[in-house]
Amino acid sequence: MSQTYRQQALSIKARLFRGFADPSRLAVLEALRNGPRSVGEIVEATGLSQSNTSNHLSCLHDCGLVSRMQQGRYVYYTLADARVAELLSIADTLLADVARGVYECTRYMLPQEGHDAHD
Amino acid sequence: MSQTYRQQALSIKARLFRGFADPSRLAVLEALRNGPRSVGEIVEATGLSQSNTSNHLSCLHDCGLVSRMQQGRYVYYTLADARVAELLSIADTLLADVARGVYECTRYMLPQEGHDAHD
DNA sequence: TAATCATATCATTACTTAATGATATGAAAA
DNA sequence: TTTTCATATCATTAAGTAATGATATGATTA
């Protein structure tokens, strides 16, 4: 039964990481790296649809990764915590070393994406 | 077209985080936090099936998050880089503050999981 | 070399989640 | 107070991904 708590903790932690684990959400977070942006600005910066952007923002907000602040009819979002940016930075550093490995992590990818070049 | 490179970079980065974004893989990574473990030990520590564990380990290995070392008929895995542990630690810290938010990030969850309590 | 043990692979199934299009809300401007 | 603009919500669809059970590989022991 303490096992259940452990599993719940893992689920919560996994969900935190899942905030970072999608290219679109990552694009949103990157767009916020230089300060607050309105939804419209994020839409433009990321090229995502308005609806999709808003959905991801809601999720990121519920997860506590971004914070919201309304100004007139605009809504501005920001990274909620310095550690969010820190996680992004460490990932960048780590990626510099393991990018090739990640690129080849095709276990769950469809064949049509075509990762056949091995160097 | 530089957009394409940007998108590819985002995909790779997202895939890195996806390594952390599943409770089972997180359990595997946690099991490795105190040093090398054989697959069997990981199976026991996590309670996952042998096949499932092996699949996740393959993915984590391809992604460069863990490294493998064979010894006789046992295969030992370790965290591949200190930054993997670092990411886990920062996540722990961050979670201490936002856990509630993450817990309530039920946007994409099924209703039957029952997150109706708000306190 | 036959049997056993540890790990890996594979195909299938079930589930989760991202994207889309349409619509709703709510604030400012006309 | 109607229209316009910015954002949010919702139902649906499409896609991605985790788990399972069965089987394969490859190394040790008998």
* Any domain includes A40: yes
| ipTM of model | 0.86
Parent domain of B66: 2-80
Question: What is the tens place of the pLDDT at every residue in B11-70?
Answer: 989 999 999 999 999 999 999 999 999 999 999 999 999 999 999 999 999 888 999 999
Token pair 């790779």 is at which residue?
B12
Q: A117 in a domain, yes or no? A: no
- Hey, which residues does B66 pair with through a beta bridge? B79
* B66-71 vs A74-79, strand pairing mode: unpaired
Question: B98 lies in a domain?
Answer: no
Mean pLDDT of chain A: 84
Residue B84 neighbours by CB under 8 Å, 6+ apart: A94, B29, B65, B66
Residue at A52 is within a domain: yes
Q: How far apart are CA A21 and CA A25, in angstroms?
A: 7
**How many structural domains comprise chain A?**
1
At residue B101, does pLDDT exceed 70? no
Flag whether B88 is in a domain: no
Amino acid at site B107: R
CA A117 / C1′ C4 distance in Å = 38
**Is B12 near chain A, with CB under 8 Å?**
yes
Which protein residues have their Cβ less than 7 angstroms from some atom of strand D?
A 38-40, 43, 50-51, 54-55, 57-58, 68, 73-75, 108-110; B 18, 21-25, 48-49, 51-52, 55-56, 59, 72-73
Assign residue B26 the CATH number of its domain.
1.10.10.10
Are A101 and B11 inside 8 Å of each other by CB? no
Q: For B56-92, what is each residue's pLDDT tens digit?
A: 999 999 888 999 999 999 999 999 999 999 999 999 9
